[in-house]
Amino acid sequence: MRTPLYRNLPNLLTTLRLIAVPFVAHSILAANFHRAAVLIFLAGCTDALDGYLARHFRWTSRIGAYLDPVADKLLLVTTYIALGVQGAVPAWLVWLVLGRDALILAMVAIAWLFTAVRSFPPSVWGKLSTITQVFTALVVIVDRAFLTSEYHAFEIFIEMVTATATLWSGFNYTRRALAEFPTARRVHKAQRL
């Protein structure tokens, strides 16, 4: 039986968010922070709406479960890279955000290859880290779009908070992986025998 078209609306909204990524990057790189702010606001609306539709009406799919976090992460990482290139955030913060994500991807790849673990739920610290990263990027973009182009003390403060949350989140994920990896590997070996 074919899935009704309206049930794919969350996936369509997620796809629109993916399509917005290069336009957000171009806007930031062109120092058009007004347009970047509008695009990020619209992307946030699609994220909230697709999440609501998926939960409230149970319009979920396997592809949506993978596509939604990929779209969110791609938008966030691309925004940070563009802000770093533009000099709106310091390069060390960009590398920290990218480094944590690279570390998590490496741990997921190792788990897929050598264990039976296939579920990687985000931790509270991971969610907090993402929230601080999003908040920092929004403050920087909105500040340059509507207030001032100067780098000021509040931005420095929230960047330090974001850096701390990102580092702690990376440490927490690493600790969890090191604690669970030996047991998961033994279970995986036993299943293969």
Reported as a single tens digit per residue, the pLDDT across 10-57 is 888 999 999 999 999 999 999 999 999 999 999 999 988 888 888 888
Q: What is the pTM of this model?
A: 0.86
Q: Which residues contact 115 (CB under 8 A, 6 or more apart)?
A: 181, 184, 185, 187, 188
H helices present in 30-61, as ranges: 33-56
Reported as a single tens digit per residue, the pLDDT across 140-190 is 999 999 887 666 788 899 999 999 999 999 999 888 888 877 666 655 565
Asked if residues 124 and 168 have their Cβ atoms less than 8 Å apart, the reply is: no
Q: How many Cβ atoms are within 10 Å of 97's Cβ, its own excluded? A: 25
Rounded mean pLDDT, 105-111: 83
Query: What span, in angstroms and rounded, lies between the C-alpha atoms of 130 and 185?
Result: 29
